[in-house]
Amino acid sequence: MSRKPKESGFEATLAELEELVAGMEAGNLPLDEALRAFERGVQLTRECQAALLSAQQRVQVLTQRASGATLEDFAAAGTDGDPLPEP
């Protein structure tokens, strides 16, 4: 009997969020269920954002260790219209 591998935390959270959004977009939920779904969606969104931030920080640390270079926050780089520096 073959078993489907269990989804990781981020993927499972994102899948649940997508399912909630689809249910809410259908417009068939009573108000109290829609509010509960919205609250759960906000919680799931925060969990996804935290997981992505953690992954970003891990990548920055690994990149910094590998290159020995000092990194700057990529969100701030290039915001003044200047091109991003070459790696």
CATH class, domain 9-67, is mainly alpha
What is the structure's pLDDT at 1?
A: 45
Residue ranges with strand state E in the chain: none
What is the structure's pLDDT at 8?
A: 74
What residue segments make up the domains of the chain, in order of their start? 9-67
What's the CA gap between 81 and 87, in Å, rounded? 18
Question: Residue 13, Cβ neighbours under 10 Å: how many?
Answer: 19
DSSP code of 20?
H
Quick: pLDDT tens for 11-63. 999 999 999 999 999 999 999 999 999 999 999 999 999 999 999 999 988 88
Query: Which of 3-7, 35-39, 60-64, 68-72 shows the lowest mean pLDDT across its residues?
Result: 3-7
**pTM attached to this predicted model:** 0.64
Computed from CA positions of residues 45, 46, 51, 56, in that sequence, does the dihedral angle turn out positive or negative? positive
